[in-house]
């Protein structure tokens, strides 16, 4: 079994630290960030109202076509 001194291990870690941090930042930038906190109840209500108004506006503009009771077509911009 190979023996290693803690100071040598610490030196090795410090020498690789910059490369590892650079790689982590590159990988992080490509991934989508997820919410870590729950939404505020007021924020939920506001977003619900906005989405309903957007749907109603799309219906009025004829962007939504009901193909059957459970199937519809939504024309995206």
pLDDT greater than 80 at residue 1: no
Question: What pTM does this model have?
Answer: 0.50
Q: Could you give the angle at the alpha carbon of 63 between the alpha carbons of 62 and 68, nearest 5°?
A: 90
pLDDT at residue 9 in the model:
83
Q: How far apart are CA 72 and CA 66, in angstroms?
A: 4
Helices (H) and strands (E) in the chain, counts: 2, 2
pLDDT (tens digit per residue) in 16-68: 888 888 888 777 766 676 777 889 999 999 999 999 999 999 999 999 999 99
pLDDT at residue 31 in the model:
63
């Amino acid at each position: 079994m190979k023996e290693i001194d803690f100071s040598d291990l610490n030196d090795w870690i410090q020498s690789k630290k910059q490369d590892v941090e650079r790689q982590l930042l590159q990988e992080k930038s490509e991934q989508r960030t997820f919410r870590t906190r729950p939404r505020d109840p007021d924020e939920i209500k506001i977003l619900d109202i906005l989405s309903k108004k957007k749907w109603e506006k799309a219906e009025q503009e004829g962007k939504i076509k009901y193909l059957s009771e459970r199937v519809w077509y939504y024309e995206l911009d």
